[in-house]
Chain A
């Protein structure tokens, strides 16, 4: 029994224990359940968030889809536009090509020779006319420096012309070639040309090159020559009648008491007017001779100082008559240069008589001589070669600014000069310039209206070349 009891007790104890364990387990399970519940709640919350996010994404997707559609549409439009642009570009390219062809055609067929060079002076373009005129092919010239490609010389002395292309590029200004320039063709033939060089500049004044245009002036020269010949012949025809008037008027004036004082005055007027006609005829003859190049140039040693003094002496009447004070200033007591006396006299007497003519009574004139060297600068002019510089200054009426550029043109007279002196041909300075062109001298001036004028001219020390008339 005891055993039974014991067993029973044992059993109950075990049961109690078991129950305890169970309780503990239950507690654990409960706790776990609580934890699980919490986790579950959390999960639920998370799920809700996710669900919300998903919803948002979905919504976004819808928006994206919509904008994608729009973009697609836009792309379509852009695509169309691009196609259009391409078409337009093609068109423009075609037009450009046409323009280029046109330009090339113009350049090629243009009546003037055109040569373009880059900023280093390398030839980059040489048109058809240039080829025709020079005898050089474009291939022979393009890529070379222009000075190696074509040569320009001065007709007067066969020396190379001043480099007007370099000058244009240096100064940035259009430079016109000097008169009487010859181009030497490939075959050595000389062609008279007139030309100009114009620098080409980019937006900010950056030099990119130079365009040189030149043309054959053989025809023009021939026309000029015909004109000069006409003037020459006409003047010659006028000489005899003018001489007859002059001599018969002289006969009357000489013959003491034949005429009344009034009649004598009339004849005297005829004589004076005829003298003017004679002067004009002489001037025209000189011009035609110079222009046709048929005057002879006979350089002889001339003491310039004595020459100037003598020239002044010749015009002494005018100086005294207007009570003009004359100042003379010579660099040396004498200075001998080889030059044609007659031509030099025409230059100096024209300039000095202008000074006298255009200075009022009581004015002042000065005549100066000095030696100048190459590259020296005298009143804005750069001296080209060692020379004697003669200047004639006056405090007369001066040359109005707007007339200054025309002063060496044939027949030009400024308004102020015309007002004061109705007589005058306007040929004096043209003769001066033409003669100096022939003897490599130069002439320029400074002037201010109502203040005065200074004329400068140079006589090259190297002397002039002999030139015979071809009879």
Chain B
């Protein structure tokens, strides 16, 4: 770990219990955590704080995760390359999500229900690894 320079993560999730448990867990893992309740909030914080990684829910009020990701990828050089992990409930839409994921690298996706906190941490660490090098 680089001295006093913590990895930063932005978690965007509208379900408070989920947001809190992710935040606590990443905090335990030594991340510095920013929290947002919807895509708009998330976009604002992202642009301001430029986190190393974004954990992004898809279905959210005000602005959904996919729109927020598109906005980030569109107009910002930093936004174009920040790793994003999409959290999705929409297993039915796998095809569509896979397509979006492949068009918006570096993006990963995890289907809620099928993972545990430890799986998310693992994925997050793998995602920020390249940017550390």
Give B92-123 interface residues, CB cut-off 8 Å to A.
92-96, 112-114, 116-118
A469 touches B89 (CB 8 A): no
How many Å from the CB of B97 to the closest CB on chain A? 10
Q: Is the CB of B18 within 8 A of A296?
A: no
Query: CB distance B93 to A248 under 8 Å?
Result: no
- Which A residues are CB-close (under 8 A) to B49? none
**Is the Cβ of A471 less than 8 Å from the Cβ of B93?**
yes
Which chain A residues border B114 with CB–CB below 8 Å?
Answer: 282
User: Is there an interface contact between B96 and A281, defined as CB atoms closer than 8 Å?
Assistant: no
Number of interface residues of B (CB under 8 A): 20
Chain B residues with Cβ under 8 A from A236's Cβ? Answer: 89
Residue contact A251 to B95, C-beta cutoff 8 Å: no
A-B contact count (CB 8 A): 56
Say yes or no: is B17 at the interface (Cβ < 8 Å to chain A): yes
B95, A298: Cβ atoms closer than 8 Å: yes
Q: Kindly list chain A residues whose C-beta atoms are within 8 Å of the C-beta of B25.
A: 251
Q: A250-B118, A298-B95 are in contact. Are A240 and B89 (CB under 8 A)?
A: yes
Are A296 and B94 touching (Cβ within 8 A)?
Answer: yes
Q: Does B15 interact with chain A (Cβ within 8 Å)?
A: yes
Complex interface: chain A residues within 8 A of B96 (CB): 469, 471
Smallest beta-carbon distance B1→chain A, Å: 21
With A240-B15, A244-B18 already in contact, the answer to whether A251 and B117 are too (CB < 8 A) is: yes
- Whether B113 and A251, one on each chain, are in contact in the complex, defined by CB atoms closer than 8 angstroms, is no
| Inter-subunit contact B18/A247 (CB<8 Å) | yes
Check if A239 sits within 8 Å of B112, measured CB to CB: yes
Closest 7 CB pairs of A and B: A296-B95, A244-B17, A247-B21, A243-B112, A250-B117, A289-B92, A278-B113
Which residues of A line the B interface, CB within 8 A?
Answer: 232, 236, 239-240, 242-244, 246-248, 250-251, 254, 278, 281-282, 285, 289, 294-296, 298, 468-469, 471
**New A-B contacts (20) at CB < 8 Å, excluding given A232-B92, A243-B18, A243-B113:** A236-B89, A239-B112, A244-B17, A244-B18, A244-B21, A246-B116, A247-B18, A247-B117, A248-B17, A250-B117, A251-B21, A251-B24, A251-B25, A251-B117, A254-B118, A281-B113, A285-B91, A294-B92, A296-B95, A469-B95
